[in-house]
Every structure is written in C-alpha cells, then in structure tokens.
Amino acid sequence: MTKKKKQPNKQPLLSPDKYIRTKGRQLPVEACYVNPNWREGGMAHVTVVRRHAGGTRTLGMYLVDTFCLGVKDTSYQFSMSEMDYDEMLATMNDNFGGLQPISYEEAHNLIYGSIAFAEEAGIRPHKDFAVTQYLLEEDTEDVPLIEYEYGRDGKHFLFTRTYQEAARYLPILRKHLGDNFDYVVEAYDDEDEYDEDEDEYGGDEYDDEWNSMLSPEEMARLHEFK
C-alpha cells in the first residue's frame, strides 16, 4: 500500500487589512502626492505609495480637511499592478486638478498635523484610519517636524454641503470650542437636488430638529446661505 505524501504546511494568506496592520510600515515609501491647490480650498488629497518586493504597490489615500475636520476620509488600494497603478494616478491627476509630488515628511506632517488640529475641536480621524495609519510611519520625533497652518483666519472653519453633516459636527465644535469657530453650509443651486435631500433627511421634521439647535443669530446667517 502506497503511503500518502505529507503535504507541506501552508501559511494562511493575510487579508489586506491584516497585511497592512502587520507589514505596511516595512514596505519602502516610493512616492507621495498631494493636489496642488489644497491650501486655497483647505482640502488636501494626500497619497502615500509603498512598493512591494514583487513590484506591486499599495496606496494609502487620505482626504485631509485642513480647515477643521482633519482626516475626513481615508482608504487604500492594495498590491496594485503597474497598469492599475498608472491608471489610478491618471484618474487622480484628472480629478484632483493635478498631482504634486511631495516628500514623505511633508505628507506625514500634513496628515498628523491636521489630526491634532481637529482633535482640539473634539473631532477624531475617520474610522478607517485605524488601518491606513499603518501605511504611515509612527508619529514620533524620528520624523522631522514641518509646521503647517490649519484653520482659516486663526479659527476652525467648518464647511459642509448638507444640513445633516453640519448637525453632526456643530454640537461637537460648540462643546470644545464654544463660539470660537466659523462655519458655512453650502446652499444648493439646483432646486431638485435640494428637494431630494429634504426627502432623504425627513423634510420639515429634519428642519425642525436643525432649527432647534441654532441661535437666532445663526438662524439669520443660515437663511442668507439658503
């Protein structure tokens, strides 16, 4: 009777999340990018590219609100092929108004500086930063300090596109900053789009909830934007 050959023990493959958490910082940084107009608009699209030994690349992408909210959104692209990577850069170049190469130290300080500024107002980074932080080096004194200016006119400045988003952040800002911040709710030019949002958020019922949390001065200011 022929004996069965023993199969070698295979190590289970790590999920992308677990790989990034355990090995992300071991991958060398190949490049970093930001949109060139981030200072004017207060919104920086920061990308950190790390290269795998096999030639693929993993990207950490961070939407950084330098005026108020810090890391507002973040995600990653894992082990991208050369073709997919080139296509991704071309898409970001088109969508972000260009890609400006920056040093890793600039990217690191821009991200972590915005997080510290947002935390002054009680705002934490986006939940997915729990993973994508491992595509950045640890925030220690080993990374040279570069100081950026955050906020607008010396204050936290909240810019939102919906009443729902404003209602989420305003109570937090008031709790930590009092009245020492500014905000704007963007008015809708498209009446149909505005009506659609009213349906989504409960129409008059949502307006009543929103109105109840505003002072008379803020109500007057809001109606100017509406």
Span 46-96, pLDDT tens digits: 999 999 999 999 999 999 999 999 999 999 999 999 999 999 999 999 999
Nearest Cα to Cα of residue 115 among 148, 78, 69: 69
pTM above threshold 0.85: no
Q: CB–CB of 158/182 below 8 Å?
A: yes
Strand (E) or helix (H) holding 72: strand 70-80
Distances (CA, A) of 212 to 2, 105, 216, 218: 81, 45, 10, 11
The token pair at 7 is: 């199969």
pLDDT at 215: 53
Under-70 pLDDT residues of the chain: 1-12, 187-226
pLDDT at 14: 87
Q: Which residue has the tokens 């002072």?
A: 215
pLDDT at 162: 87
Taking the C-alpha atoms of residue 76 and residue 116, their distance in angstroms, rounded to an integer, is: 22
pLDDT at 29: 98
pLDDT at 5: 57
Taking the C-alpha atoms of residue 8 and residue 208, their distance in angstroms, rounded to an integer, is: 66
Could you tell me the sign of the dihedral formed by the alpha carbons of 97, 101, 102, 104, in that order?
A: positive
